[in-house]
Structure 1
Amino acid sequence: MTTLNTYLTFEGNCENAFNFYRSVFGGEFAHVGRFSDMPADPTYPIGDEFRNQIMHISLPISKECVLMGSDTGGHGAPIIVGNNFSISINTDSKEKADAYFAKLSADGKETMAMASTFWGDYFGMCTDRFGINWMISFAEAAPQG
């Protein structure tokens, strides 16, 4: 099964926003990860001022829908309302993930090639030819909390 969810991006106030969304929709966060939880990577250093910011947060809204988000952590383009979201696709196979990625990035921009990640997903990001940001995932490992 393939699902589509919205992924919101913030500049330092993701946690405040998601606490608000939780007050609106109810429920509990399925995952809260901070930039300090990431393995060190000299290519993408995280400044001390970003270490406590949200790397990834997810709030289940229903069985089929999850609202997800993160802060920029000082990386990426400046946030402009309208470019601060992505559509997240979760697939049930690597092959589907690769196929969606290839089709969506054609005549667009690959921002992160499909690859296995430290959090256990096969994951990539692109912007399609119409300027819409996409995140494509296949859960290679069992979910961790």
Structure 2
Amino acid sequence: MTNLMPYLNFPGTTREAMTFYHEALGGEVGFSTYGEFGAAPEGSPAFDKIMHAQLVNDTLRLMASDVVEGFGPPVTYGNNYAVSLVGPEEEQLTEIFNRLSEGGTVEMPLEQQVWGDRYGSFTDKFGVPWMVNIEVQSAEGAGAGD
């Protein structure tokens, strides 16, 4: 099933923000750095910054990342969020990506990523930023994005 969920961007304070949300909302929180994904070399300013964080409880999946130089525009309030669609339905999510990005700007084409899923991002013709993540099913049947 495809889920609609918030994705927040922070100027280097994702770990602090998500820890705060975790303390208030409960659940489980996890962090992955740019370095862990191999997206930034050791010693670079981005190496220890958060590429992806996720807070999951019974009713919510909240995701977030640090925006660092070279990985997107600087965070300003108004561009620090995106609507994120996540699920295993490849055909459905590919169609949604193509339809909603029509007339907009594709920042990242929908393609295989280092974490194993297919992912793409765009801003629609109304200025709303979207992210689409198609979870690749593992041998056990769990999504790689879980």
Q: What is the alpha-carbon distance in structure 2 between the residues aligned to residue 84 and residue 47 of structure 1?
A: 26
Query: What amino acid maps onto 1:70 in structure 2?
Result: S
Residues 1:7 and 2:11 are matched in the alignment = no
Structure 2 residue runs without a partner (length 5+): 139-143
Aligned counterpart, 2:96:
100
SS at match of 2:82: strand
Query: What amino acid maps onto 1:112 in structure 2?
Result: M
Aligned counterpart, 1:56:
52
SS at match of 1:39: coil
Distance 1:78 1:116, change over 3 A: same
Relative to the length of structure 1, the TM-score reads: 0.88
Aligned counterpart, 2:34:
35
RMSD of equivalent CA atoms:
1.9
Residues 1:76 and 2:72 are matched in the alignment = yes
Report the CA distance between 1:73 and its aligned residue. 2.7
Identity of aligned residues (%): 33
Match 1:131 to one of 123, 127, 133: 127
Q: Which moved more, 1:74-83 or 1:127-136?
A: 74-83
Q: What is the alpha-carbon distance in structure 2 between the residues aligned to residue 76 and residue 39 of structure 1?
A: 17
Q: What is the alpha-carbon distance in structure 2 between the residues aligned to residue 100 and residue 46 of structure 1?
A: 37
Query: What amino acid maps onto 1:61 in structure 2?
Result: N
Q: What is the alpha-carbon distance in structure 2 between the residues aligned to residue 136 and residue 95 of structure 1?
A: 12
Q: How many residues align?
A: 140
Residues 58-109 of structure 1 deviation map (CA, whole Å, 9 limit, x = unaligned): 001325x300000013221121101100111013321112101111111111
Report the CA distance between 1:46 and its aligned residue. 7.8
Distance 1:100 1:21, change over 3 A: same
Relative to the length of structure 2, the TM-score reads: 0.87
Distance 1:50 1:39, change over 3 A: closer
Distance 1:46 1:4, change over 3 A: farther
Distance 1:46 1:9, change over 3 A: farther
SS at match of 2:35: helix
Structure 1 residue runs without a partner (length 5+): none
SS at match of 1:7: strand
Q: Which has the higher helix share?
A: 1
